Amino acid sequence: MNETIELMQAHKSTRSYTEQPVSEQMLNEIIHAAWRSPSSINAQEISVVVVRDPVRRARISEIAGGQPWIAQAPVFIVVIVDFNKTRIGVEKAGYTQTIQESMEGFGVAAVDAGIVLGNLMTAARAQGLGMVPIGGIRRDPQALIDLLELPPFTFPLVGMCMGHAAVDMPLKPRLDISTFRHNERYNATSYAAAVDTYDEEIMKYWQQLGRSDGLPWSTNVGNVFKSLYFPEVRPVAAKQGLLNDK
């Protein structure tokens, strides 16, 4: 099997890190890999903020709801929607930028941010590092905007912890691939049975790890998706000039 595909198929999220620092050369290579990510119309409307300062990482850990691995990992990268960058180009061309006021704008930026995050993840693991994406930074986006001094037309969408893994975790099982791959047309006939099977498999995984707090997948998703779990995203994004009324 191709080494890159094998690496991607063996993805693990790391939430425990050693004190060993990430070298500047290693970090630069990872950032450059993400910098080369494609973007819609080559807009390049994504930026990253690399946070290595332990005091700042500790604050981000608090903002994200008390996730200790953010403070523990030697590097935290924030992936930012950056329509401030594109605004400069649009105004140079003699126009007024409006894309940030639309669902299309936020949607395409989210897609491009996901591509950047995916490349960061793969590049980090190719260097032998552990990593875990962090959506919890959207719990209090205004606090993170203030901490990173982000200007209007920007928004911190997702983060990523990165460092040398302290514990080698087993692969977490996934829903059956029939719930992911659809041929020619969407077909959900296998979903209910797949969820039943997966609930059993994920409980065995938690037991393997000694996690008495582990929940079935359906219960875990239900606990979160039954409500709007990060309600500050929309008002803070609007305050930043990123609207969805067009």
Collect all residues with Cβ–Cβ distance below 8 Å to 218 and sequence separation of at least 6. 195, 199
* C-alpha angle 174-76-118 in degrees, rounded to nearest 5: 40
CA dist list (Å): 236 to 27, 97, 141: 30, 19, 7
Collect all residues with Cβ–Cβ distance below 8 Å to 51 and sequence separation of at least 6. 57, 60, 75, 76, 77, 78, 148
pLDDT at 244: 79
Helical H runs in 83-164? Answer: 83-92, 103-126, 141-148
Contact between 154 and 116 (Cβ < 8 Å): no
**What single letter denotes the amino acid at residue 223?**
N
Quote the pTM value.
0.96
Domains identified in the chain and CATH numbers? 3-169+229-239 (3.40.109.10), 171-214 (no CATH)
pLDDT at 246: 84
The pLDDT tens digits for 160-204 are: 999 999 998 899 999 999 999 999 999 999 999 999 999 999 999
d(CA 120, CA 202): 27
pLDDT by 10-residue block (mean), the chain, 246 residues: 94 96 98 98 98 98 98 98 98 98 96 98 98 98 98 98 95 97 97 98 96 96 96 96 86
CA dihedral 126, 41, 83, 112 (to 10 degrees): -30
